[in-house]
C-alpha cells in the first residue's frame, strides 16, 4: 500500500491525472463505494470542491466546506463532524469527475459543487438537531433541562 501511495504522489506531482476506485461511504450519496473518481493534481480548491487530502497514515476524499487564514476545512458529506484543518500542501488533488456504472459525471461544475455543499451542510445540521434531541433530557448540548415534573407527566 505504501508503494501505491508513493506512486500516486509521484504521478500527481508530475501533473498527471489519476483515477481511483472508492472504498468508503463518507461521501454518500454523491460518491459511493465502487465509483471511479478522476483526480487532477493541485493544491488550489474552491468551496464545494471534493479534494484528496493526505492525513498521514490514510487519505480521505472530502468536500471543502470552509477556507480561512491559509487553512482548508473539509468534511465528508455523510459524516457528522468536520475534519481537522489542513494546509494547501496537504491537498494532493481535486476530484473532477465520477464514473458510476459507465456514466461519467462532472464534480467541478458550479451546480455539482454548490448542491453537494448544500447537502453536506444540511446533513450536518440534521446531525446536530438529532444530537440535541437525544441529549435534551440529559442536560447535554446546552439545551434546557426539562423540569422533573415534565418528565413524569410524559
Rg of the chain, C-alpha, whole Å: 19
Give the per-residue pLDDT at 79. 87
Domains: count for the chain = 1
Q: What band does 101 get if pLDDT is binned at 50, 70 and 90?
A: very high
Q: Residues 3, 37, 13, CA angle at the centre, nearest 5°?
A: 45
Nearest-10 Cα torsion for 69, 12, 6, 71: 10
Q: What CATH code is carried by the domain that includes residue 47?
A: 2.10.109.10
- Is 152 part of a structural domain of the chain? no
- For residues 81 and 106, the model is more confident at 106
Of 24-28, 68-72, 94-98, 124-128, the one with minimum mean pLDDT is 124-128
pLDDT in tens, 110-146: 999 898 888 888 887 777 776 655 655 554 444 443 4
- Is 142 part of a structural domain of the chain? no
Side-chain half-sphere CA neighbours of 35 within 13 A = 25
Residue 100, SS3 per DSSP: strand
- Is 7 part of a structural domain of the chain? yes
Q: What band does 55 get if pLDDT is binned at 50, 70 and 90?
A: confident
Residue 49, SS3 per DSSP: coil
41 has pLDDT over 90? yes
CA 67/CA 65 separation, integer angstroms: 7
Segments forming the whole domain that contains residue 94: 2-136
pLDDT in tens, 18-32: 999 999 999 998 999
Amino acid at each position: 500500500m505504501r508503494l501505491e501511495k508513493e506512486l500516486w504522489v509521484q504521478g500527481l506531482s508530475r501533473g498527471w491525472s489519476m483515477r481511483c476506485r472508492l472504498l468508503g461511504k463518507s461521501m454518500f450519496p454523491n460518491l459511493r463505494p465502487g465509483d471511479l473518481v478522476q483526480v487532477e493534481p493541485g493544491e488550489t480548491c474552491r468551496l464545494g470542491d471534493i479534494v484528496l487530502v493526505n492525513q498521514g497514515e490514510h487519505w480521505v476524499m472530502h468536500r471543502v466546506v470552509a477556507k480561512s487564514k491559509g487553512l482548508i476545512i473539509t468534511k465528508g458529506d455523510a459524516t457528522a463532524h468536520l475534519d481537522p484543518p489542513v494546509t494547501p500542501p496537504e491537498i494532493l488533488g481535486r476530484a473532477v469527475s465520477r464514473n458510476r456504472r459507465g456514466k461519467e459525471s462532472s464534480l467541478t461544475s458550479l451546480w455539482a459543487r454548490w448542491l453537494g455543499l448544500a447537502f453536506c451542510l444540511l446533513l450536518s445540521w440534521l446531525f446536530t438537531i438529532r444530537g440535541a434531541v437525544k441529549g435534551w433530557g440529559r442536560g447535554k448540548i446546552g439545551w434546557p433541562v426539562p423540569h422533573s415534573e415534565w418528565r413524569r407527566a410524559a
